[in-house]
């Protein structure tokens, strides 16, 4: 999934923040998810204006979704 999620995000043309949030909602292992979010951010950095959003937004949105999702499920 580390390779599939960034590729699917690219195919859908997702901005970095949206892709990071979407990856953060997945139920895969956190290490695979964080790798996918970072990979999409790196892809955005090297793709220039082809992917909207700041490269670090994918990792920030991913982290936010994992924290919010974890807190929500604990209750």
pLDDT tens track, the chain, 75 positions: 778 888 999 999 999 999 998 888 877 667 788 888 999 999 998 887 788 888 899 999 998 888 776 655 555
The residues spanned by each domain of the chain are: 4-74
Torsion, CA 6, CA 14, CA 38, CA 23, rounded to 10? -70
How far is the C-alpha of 53 from the C-alpha of 16, rounded, in Å? 5
Indicate whether this model's pTM tops 0.85: no
Which pLDDT value is given to residue 15? 93
């Amino acid at each position: 999934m580390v390779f599939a999620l960034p590729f699917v995000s690219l195919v859908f043309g997702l901005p970095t923040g949206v892709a990071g949030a979407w990856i953060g909602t997945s139920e895969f292992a956190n290490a695979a998810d964080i790798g996918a979010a970072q990979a999409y951010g790196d892809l955005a950095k090297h793709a220039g204006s082809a992917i909207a959003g700041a490269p670090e937004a994918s990792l920030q949105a991913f982290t936010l979704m994992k924290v919010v999702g974890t807190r929500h499920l604990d209750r």
